[in-house]
Amino acid sequence: MSHARSSRSLRFALLTLLVGATISAVSQQPLQTLLAGVDRRAVTSLNGEWHYLVDQAPARALYTADGQINDKSYALNEHPNLVGRHNQEYDFATAPTLRVPGDWNTQVPQLFNYEGVVWYQRDFDFQPKPETRTFLHIGAANYRSHAWVNQKRVCDHEGGYTPFDCEVTAVLHPGSNFIVIAVDATRLQDGIPSVGIDWFNYGGLTRDVSLVTVPHAFIDDYDVHLAHRASFDPANTAITGYVHIVDAPAGTAVTIDIPEAGARATAQTDADGNAPFRLNARQLTLWSPETPHLYKVNLSAGQDALTDEIGFRDVRVDRTRILLNGKPVFLQGVNLHAEAPVRGGRTNTDEDVATLFGYLKDLHANFVRLAHYPHDERMERAADRDGILVWSEIPNWQRISFDKPEVYAKAVTMLREMIRRDRNKASVIFWSVSNETPNTPERTRFLTDLAQEARRLDPTRLITSAIIGPRPNGQAMVNDDPLCATLDVIGQNEYIGWYELTAEDADSMRWTFPQKPVIMSEFGAEAKAGNHGDVHQRWTEEQQAYVLQHQFVMLRNIPQLRGVAPWILTDFRSPTRNIPRLQDGYNRKGLIAEDGTKKQAFTLVQRAYAEHAIGKAE
């Protein structure tokens, strides 16, 4: 390792430690963390109508002239004096409201294209219970957010797609309280993603908001999985992992009980509050798409307890095969953005998820790539229940500032938050570190380090990334991207027949990859639903289906192909798609239009999946 490389790694390691400190640590200070399993706890929902005020750029209510967060403006939630001295000029009490969870863009026509700061406020009643602590849980706020409870700042968070929890114990009082949250959706050059994206930058409190009350010492993180052996062993019924307790003295007893599996163990916390455990089930029905069996897992420590539903399965790679519970699998999937079908806006309700999973079932899919960022946790819960395998990704999309340590630190935070939220979901088999990044040495170092971090945090899953390139050389495509070296499974994106070459060129295209399993993670063409014409006429349903048909011919010629995910299940909003009448602000590569109309391409893929006609598991 060169000196430059090692000092860089050291800098990254230090930053990582600092970032890590925000989601671990035993502390008497108010804690900013991420509570695993929040959706398994009884919470006080803060969903509903919140007052809002718009703080247009340069957002002088939120930022001081030198860019600091201003704690003395709207956060104070004062009311203007109508007589007497002049005090200030805002008032949440008489301001209109936005529904939470929800993006502001689809709720207020004037805010449709707004990408700045919006302030949210609501009152709530609360009766603190003795010997408890309370956290403000924010399921997602895009992109940066700052929260105050009763005028005290309790949280700052960057990253639009992962949850966070801020301790509010000391600032709550019995009776009426109020909360103010400023959300800034401004795109940042050094953000993740960066400024250029091909999806809609929905702003606001886009997922559930709640208060979570826990005992003084409480479970904040846990990992319960089938013990990972050197090779798959059908007789293996060992379950292992850890339960982490905040503010537990060393030696605190933690119980892990899986009644249906006849498995129960008591473990002890170490000095860091961590209780590693191992237990043996009588027998196990392993989780798979065919048998998506979930076990009730009861965790308890002192006064705290929670019950999750967890599936146990083994996923690994054997040369160019992907093995699920020892059996080779072929993934028939599709990509998905977190955009609600029909109503539009961010996906964040049970109904949205039911509609999307209905489409997946109809398609005979056993796999979904949740592009390009973590989606609502309901999606992984549904995937666990319905037996759909999941690719989960952080928003390292195309060009981000790969040369900056502070951007790497952000990526690590997002990766940790994604893994922490979803590590107990059996459906999730891939952590993807990126999508379509430029092949540069800085990029490769950044993503190689990130992949190692993902492996360190979770050695039980497969690491992947969606790669773009190579350029075609005659009838040959040779993927020699050095990033492949660090991946367990190669994701390959390509748009032969749309952005390059012709649909027919795919028939004789020959791909060369490193000897690893390959998933064709994006391919497709645009079509406006109801627009018909010749197979060579762009934006027609006929052409979209024709491109996919030729893709299937090409895909069948890739021996190490282990999965496919056409781009994309439904048309989705993208501000860069501006051909009137054909796009109207939508990327039209959906198999289904945004209003739910199925295009010819849907039927084509559906038939191919029903017949298992695209690829082989080995």
Contact residues for ligand GCB, defined by CB under 6 A? 198, 372, 435-436, 493, 522, 567, 587, 589
Q: How many helices (H) and strands (E) does the chain have?
A: 7, 35
* Both structure tokens of 419: 């893994």
Nearer to ligand GCB, 417 or 522 (CB): 522
The string over 88-120, giving b where at least 16 C-beta atoms fall within 10 Å of a residue's C-beta and e elsewhere, is: eebebeebebbebbbbbbbbbeebeebbbbbbb
Least distance between ligand GCB and beta carbon 182 (Å) = 29
Nearer to ligand GCB, 49 or 500 (CB): 500
Distance between CA atoms of residues 332 and 336, nearest Å: 13
* Both structure tokens of 42: 């009884």
User: 518-522 and 489-493 as β-strands: parallel, antiparallel, unpaired?
Assistant: parallel
Question: Do 601 and 546 meet the contact criterion of CB atoms below 8 Å apart?
Answer: no
Nearer to ligand GCB, 376 or 522 (CB): 522
Least distance between ligand GCB and beta carbon 467 (Å) = 10
Question: Do 388 and 289 meet the contact criterion of CB atoms below 8 Å apart?
Answer: yes
Nearer to ligand GCB, 352 or 436 (CB): 436
Nearer to ligand GCB, 417 or 436 (CB): 436
Least distance between ligand GCB and beta carbon 493 (Å) = 5
Nearer to ligand GCB, 213 or 435 (CB): 435
Range list of β-strands (E), 320-387: 321-324, 327-328, 331-336, 367-370
Least distance between ligand GCB and beta carbon 592 (Å) = 15
Helix axes 441-457, 3-21, angle to 10 degrees: 50
Least distance between ligand GCB and beta carbon 522 (Å) = 5
Nearer to ligand GCB, 372 or 443 (CB): 372
* Number of CB atoms found within 10 A of residue 481's CB: 21
Least distance between ligand GCB and beta carbon 567 (Å) = 6
Indicate the residue whose CB is closest to ligand GCB: 198
Residue partners of 146: CB distance under 8 A and separation at least 6: 62, 69, 75, 153, 155, 156, 157, 181, 182
Nearer to ligand GCB, 213 or 432 (CB): 432
Least distance between ligand GCB and beta carbon 177 (Å) = 41
Nearer to ligand GCB, 139 or 563 (CB): 563
* Both structure tokens of 474: 């005659």
Least distance between ligand GCB and beta carbon 587 (Å) = 5
Distance between CA atoms of residues 471 and 491, nearest Å: 16
Least distance between ligand GCB and beta carbon 140 (Å) = 19
The string over 235-268, giving b where at least 16 C-beta atoms fall within 10 Å of a residue's C-beta and e elsewhere, is: ebbbbbbbbbbbbbeeebebbbbbeebebebebe
From the centroid of its chain, how far is CA 38?
16
Least distance between ligand GCB and beta carbon 396 (Å) = 11
* Both structure tokens of 362: 């109809």
Q: What is the DSSP letter of 527?
A: B
Nearer to ligand GCB, 144 or 372 (CB): 372
Residue partners of 574: CB distance under 8 A and separation at least 6: 198, 199, 200, 585, 586, 587
